[in-house]
Structure 1
Amino acid sequence: MYQVGHEFSKPYVFTAENIRRFAEEAGDDNPYHRDETKAAASRFGGIIASGPHMSAVLMAVCASSMAGKRDGVGLDFNFRFIKAIPAGTSTSLAWTVTGIEPHAGLKGDLVTLDGRIVDEAGKVYVTCQARTVVWPDKAGV
């Protein structure tokens, strides 16, 4: 199991193609995510990732990494969108374990984490505070 201070991350590039595809699949008609001409004329100067896209890929890294250790599920994720992520941005989807407490009611450990999406220069686009529960030896299934 993880310890407080443990960090894990995954690289991810927000391309115009995956931004458009995510918006399409999610039913998000905002032209900033789908229409190059309208997005280029906006304050952002081009296609940007949607909030649901940013949060989904960040949550997926948390879920995949936690699932590799023990069974568990996410309980809550609180996001702060700091800057728009333009198409073509290479990022790191990163998490740090900030707390682990036994929780009798959940019959497992309550794990708190801080997440972030940062680019190669260290610019922070999204932060997240999360709580998950993990169960010992497949007990939660």
Structure 2
Amino acid sequence: MADVEAFTAMTGDRNPLHYDEAAAQRTVFGGLIVQGGVTSGILNAIVAEDLPGPGSVFLGVEWKFAKAVAVDEEIVGRVEVTKVREDKPIVTLQTTVRNAAGDICLSGSAVTYTVPLQANSEEALD
């Protein structure tokens, strides 16, 4: 729920599906769900930290949200490189987010650009 509250603080998304347990239980979801930005947010960390890595930003995404993620549900993101441009540091990725049961919650593709980062002065001295 802390992720939902943090996302709400940033975006203002106060949809009752994220906060009103009684109302959410009466929906097809059967309980509180996280915002789609929380679900896709795990991919931001992967792209920025691991693949392609530091200095990477999204140029575009095409995602399908196939299954809602419940509050307190564990999810795992995965990216796979499907294309690398030879002329620029642009990469196309296949992206998925799955829940603990292995169900696909989000799938699609993303295009990233990686900016070369310069080491800071402390790192350069090591």
TM range (shorter): 0.7 to 0.9
1:95 is matched with which residue: 58, 64, 79? 79
Residue 124 of structure 1 deviates from its aligned partner by 0.3
| Larger strand fraction of residues | 1
Instruction: Please tell me whether residue 37 in structure 1 is matched to residue 22 in structure 2.
Output: yes
Letter in 2 for 1:35: D
Letter in 2 for 1:77: V
In structure 2, relative to structure 1, the CA distance for the partners of 1:33 and 1:102 (3 Å cut) is same
Compute the RMSD of aligned alpha carbons.
2.0
Deviations 1:10-66 (Å, cap 9, x if unpaired)? xxxxxx332233234310121001222221222211110111222223223212223
Residue 136 of structure 1 deviates from its aligned partner by 5.6
Structure 2, unmatched stretches of 5+, are 119-126
| 1:3-14 equivalences in 2 (<5 Å) | none
2:60 is matched with which residue: 45, 63, 76? 76
> Equivalent residue for 2:53?
67
In structure 2, relative to structure 1, the CA distance for the partners of 1:136 and 1:53 (3 Å cut) is closer
In structure 2, relative to structure 1, the CA distance for the partners of 1:98 and 1:87 (3 Å cut) is same
Q: How many residues align?
A: 117
Deviations 1:54-101 (Å, cap 9, x if unpaired)? 222322321222334xx3432111111001111121111111111112
> Equivalent residue for 2:121?
none
Task: Identify which of structures 1 and 2 has the higher relative contact order when contacts are C-alpha pairs closer than 8 Å and 6+ apart.
Answer: 1
In structure 2, relative to structure 1, the CA distance for the partners of 1:25 and 1:73 (3 Å cut) is closer
> Equivalent residue for 1:20?
5
In structure 2, relative to structure 1, the CA distance for the partners of 1:132 and 1:40 (3 Å cut) is same
